[in-house]
Amino acid sequence: MKGRLLAGVLLSCLALTACGGPASGSGNETAADALNRGLAAHAAGKLDEAVAAYFTTLSKDPKNQFAYYNLGEIAQRQSRFVAAESYYRIALEMDPKMVSALFNLAIVRTNAGATNEAIALYRQAIAVDANYAAAHFNLGLLLRQIGQTAEAQTELATAQKLDPTLVAPSPSASPIRQASPSPTR
């Protein structure tokens, strides 16, 4: 599985022409500088620039889970779900408690119809951060879908207690399908 993930990353890198091309930063740019440049471009919606900066980060720091996470978030936004999943899983190999990667991977797996895996991922995210309202909310919706209504109601109530804007929807509602914002570091 690890080899397939790395192959997916390399193919994405080649497809985006971000690995071998000239970097926007100077030759003395550190991995942190490249990551910060990527985060700025990402926030400004300049996704191609962000991707190039994240690959520069990885060329200087191949184990930078934040660069992998952010590549996943961009891929997820662009509906490139296989790439997004690969990037999130690599980030999680480096930091199994990266709650934003757990959450976003759960969304990707939900969209792929892997409900049980998504439930497990939301539970992992909640184990890391018990106050993650959106994870409780999505977990509640998935539990409701598979007929575990009592546990679903508990999760939905917890979500609403943590974030009063999250109102328990009708029984036919679907989980939130947007990626969480990229971490800053």
Sign of the four-CA dihedral 116, 117, 121, 124: positive
User: Cβ-count burial of 46 within 10 angstroms (0-12 exposed, 13-18 middle, 19+ buried)?
Assistant: middle
Question: Does 12 have pLDDT greater than 70?
Answer: no
Q: Could you read off the pLDDT of 90-128 as tens digits, one per residue?
A: 999 999 999 999 999 999 999 999 999 999 999 999 999
In which band, very low, low, confident or very high, does the pLDDT at 167 lie, cut at 50, 70 and 90?
confident
> What local confidence, expressed as pLDDT, does residue 96 receive?
96
pLDDT at residue 178, rounded to an integer: 57
Name the nearest CA neighbour of 73 among 113, 38, 121: 38
pLDDT band of 23, cuts 50, 70, 90? very low
Question: Phi, psi at residue 170, to the nearest 5°?
Answer: -65, 160
More confident call, 177 vs 42: 42
The pLDDT score that the predictor gives to residue 2 is 40
Q: Are 23 and 34 in contact (CB under 8 A)?
A: yes
Residue 16's pLDDT band, with cuts at 50, 70 and 90, is very low
Q: Report which of 57, 79, 60 is spatially closest to residue 69, judged by C-alpha positions.
A: 57
Listed range (12-16, 67-71, 147-151) with the worst mean pLDDT: 12-16
Confidence of residue 19 (pLDDT cuts 50, 70, 90): very low
138 within 8 A of 106, measured Cβ to Cβ:
yes
CA distance 23 to 38: 11
- pLDDT value, residue 5: 38
Secondary structure (H, E, C), 79-130: CCHHHHHHHHHHHHHHCCCCHHHHHHHHHHHHHCCCHHHHHHHHHHHHHHCC
Instruction: Kindly tell me if the per-residue pLDDT of 15 is higher than 50.
Output: no
pLDDT value of position 168: 73
* Token reading at 41: 């471009």
Judged against a pLDDT cut of 70, whether residue 6 lies above it is answered with: no
Instruction: Report all structural domains of the chain as residue ranges with CATH numbers, in order of start.
Output: 1-95 (1.25.40.10), 96-185 (1.25.40.10)
Burial 77-104 (b: 16+ CB within 10 A, else e): eeebbebbbbbbbbbbeeeeebbbbbbb
Confidence of residue 180 (pLDDT cuts 50, 70, 90): low
